[in-house]
């Protein structure tokens, strides 16, 4: 809805305001008249019409204001054009608008560090507080970043469109990153009762497929789509019948989506062919090794560790180094992995990242250092906003 409204309003703040007003209109109109057959289309059309009305009011205001200006003070700035009345849009059209919105958020004129944050706020619908938590900064700091970014979009007149083929390579890396971020935000929601936000993972998969249609020969596009498919393949087994989070070794592998895993395998082969693999191809290859193992015990941990080393060479991220410790513990033992965790703590780049104390707690528990493990589980609980993860950590803390 926001993406469709931005296309008319050409102003993010105005578009957000109009979407909020459309929801308020629905709360008034729907109880009396009933929910329309196409509620998303109704809301989208209402928001866009409010945007058009606002533009028209601004045009009238400017024309009336000119009557009060003294001779010689007139501005040469033309009145804003009023878009044509929008047709009713079917919900199926909206993913294309989201892709346009993502490309706008990833414009080179915006700072690289704000591009994913803006996407989380505008495309995923996360609150500013949730976005701040994801990037380990305070809410006022993130609010200021987002405000500056939206002003930059308006001042630079960044176009709301999918770029032409010649422009695509320069924008592709950022777009891949934010689609991956969209998926991971849905795969494990940062807060709330549900572990998964399926609407976000579904959007990310759809957008990744659309991106592959735009750039079918880009190996990293294949890699990203493969990564999303193989990760989403086990979505239905991540919690038990009571909604409790399950570890990988507890999941029923017979229920994993084998068709998605097979499709991912074909994409990985394409992504690894023809040169040094990129970040997403390597992540997909790691995820595929987890998915293709008949049992947890039969996982090819040495190969996973080797792939993590390759990934670190391509993408030297502290999160990758943290994830690598899981494989390292299986290959070399928890003591070696714990020393790597301590090095990550010393560098401080993952301060406030909930999975660092959670992984540390698991390693300490395996080493029999229960008091230290309990302290680490407590630190992880303080940083975790998702109810499912909190319940899982509480169980681990209490010996479950």
Specify whether the backbone of 71 is left (phi greater than 0), alpha (psi in -120 to 50) or beta.
Answer: beta
Residue-level pLDDT at 31:
93
Q: How far apart are CA 238 and CA 217, in angstroms?
A: 33
Alpha-carbon dihedral 318, 304, 377, 136, rounded to 10 degrees:
30
Half-sphere exposure of 239 (CA within 13 A, CB side): 15
% of the chain at pLDDT higher than 90: 50
Identify which has the larger pLDDT, 76 or 357: 357
Sequence-distant contacts of 302-311: CB under 8 A, at least 24 apart: 302/331, 305/331, 307/282, 310/277, 310/282, 311/279, 311/282, 311/283, 311/286
**Which letter, b or e, does each residue of 240-278 get, where b requires 16 or more Cβ atoms within 10 Å of its Cβ?**
eeeeebeeeeebeeeebbeebbebbbebbebbbeeeebb
Residue-level pLDDT at 100:
77
Predicted confidence (pLDDT) per residue in 165-178, tens digit: 677 777 788 889 88
Read off the pLDDT band of 69 (50, 70, 90).
very low
DSSP letters spanning 260-279: HHHHHHHHHHHHHSSSS--H
- Beta strands 385-386 and 191-192 are parallel
Q: Taking residues 101-129, what's their average pLDDT? A: 83
Residue-level pLDDT at 96:
62
Q: Taking a C-beta distance cutoff of 8 angstroms, is the pair 113, 72 a contact?
A: no
Statement: residue 91 has pLDDT above 70 = no
Statement: residue 324 has pLDDT above 60 = yes
Q: Taking a C-beta distance cutoff of 8 angstroms, is the pair 102, 179 a contact?
A: yes
Give the phi and the psi of residue 369 in degrees, each rounded to 5. -90, 70
Look up residue 264 and give its two tokens: 């991912």
Identify which has the larger pLDDT, 40 or 87: 40
Prediction pTM value: 0.76
Look up residue 267 and give its two tokens: 């994409």
Read off the pLDDT band of 62 (50, 70, 90).
low
Residue-level pLDDT at 216:
85
Alpha-carbon dihedral 141, 143, 149, 153, rounded to 10 degrees:
-170
Read off the pLDDT band of 64 (50, 70, 90).
low
Statement: residue 83 has pLDDT above 50 = no
Statement: residue 249 has pLDDT above 60 = yes
Q: How far apart are CA 204 and CA 184, in angstroms?
A: 9
Alpha-carbon dihedral 231, 234, 236, 239, rounded to 10 degrees:
-90
Three-class SS state of 385: strand
Give the phi and the psi of residue 63 in degrees, each rounded to 5. -70, -40
Mean pLDDT, the chain, rounded, equals 85
Half-sphere exposure of 379 (CA within 13 A, CB side): 19
Statement: residue 72 has pLDDT above 70 = no
Statement: residue 160 has pLDDT above 70 = no
Predicted confidence (pLDDT) per residue in 134-149, tens digit: 777 889 999 999 988 8
Statement: residue 320 has pLDDT above 90 = yes
DSSP letters spanning 118-168: HHHHHTS---HHHHHHHTTS-HHHHHHHHHHHHHHHHHTT---SPPPTTTH
Residue with tokens 């009336």: 64
Q: Taking residues 337-362, what's their average pLDDT? A: 94
- H-run or E-run covering 191: strand 191-192
Identify which has the larger pLDDT, 236 or 155: 236
Residue-level pLDDT at 7:
75
């Amino acid at each position: 809805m926001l993406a469709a409204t931005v296309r008319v309003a050409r102003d993010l703040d105005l578009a957000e305001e109009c979407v909020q007003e459309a929801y308020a209109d629905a709360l008034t109109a729907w109880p009396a008249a009933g929910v329309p057959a196409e509620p998303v289309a109704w809301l989208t059309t209402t928001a866009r019409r409010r945007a058009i009305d606002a533009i028209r009011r601004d045009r009238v205001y400017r024309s009336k204001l000119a009557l009060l200006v003294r001779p010689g003070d007139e501005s040469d700035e033309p009145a804003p054009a009023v878009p044509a009345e929008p047709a009713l849009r079917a919900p199926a059209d909206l993913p294309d608008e989201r892709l346009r919105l993502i490309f706008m958020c990833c414009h080179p004129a915006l700072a690289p560090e704000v591009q994913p944050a803006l996407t989380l706020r505008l495309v995923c619908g996360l609150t500013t507080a949730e976005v701040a938590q994801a990037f380990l900064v305070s809410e006022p700091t993130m609010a200021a970043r987002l405000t500056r970014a939206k002003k930059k979009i308006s001042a630079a007149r960044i176009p709301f469109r999918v770029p032409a083929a010649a422009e695509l390579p320069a924008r592709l890396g950022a777009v891949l990153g934010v689609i991956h971020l969209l998926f991971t935000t849905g795969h494990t929601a940062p807060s709330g009762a549900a572990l998964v936000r399926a609407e976000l993972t579904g959007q990310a998969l759809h957008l990744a497929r659309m991106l592959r249609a735009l750039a079918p020969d880009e190996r990293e596009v294949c890699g990203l789509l493969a990564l999303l498919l193989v990760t989403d393949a086990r979505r239905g087994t991540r919690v038990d019948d009571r909604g409790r989070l399950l570890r990988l070794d507890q999941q029923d592998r017979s229920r994993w989506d084998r068709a998605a895993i097979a499709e991912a395998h074909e994409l990985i082969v394409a992504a690894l062919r023809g040169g040094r693999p990129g970040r997403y191809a390597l992540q997909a290859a790691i995820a595929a090794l987890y998915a293709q193992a008949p049992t947890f015990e039969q996982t090819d941990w040495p190969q996973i560790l080797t792939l993590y080393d390759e990934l670190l060479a391509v993408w030297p991220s502290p999160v990758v180094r943290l994830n690598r410790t899981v494989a390292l513990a299986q290959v070399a033992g928890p003591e070696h992995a714990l020393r790597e965790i301590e090095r990550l703590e010393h560098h401080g780049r993952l301060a406030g990242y909930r999975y660092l104390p959670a992984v540390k707690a698991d390693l300490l528990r395996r080493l029999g250092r229960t008091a230290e493990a309990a302290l680490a589980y407590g630190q992880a609980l303080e940083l975790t906003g998702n109810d499912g993860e909190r319940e899982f950590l509480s169980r681990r803390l209490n010996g479950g």
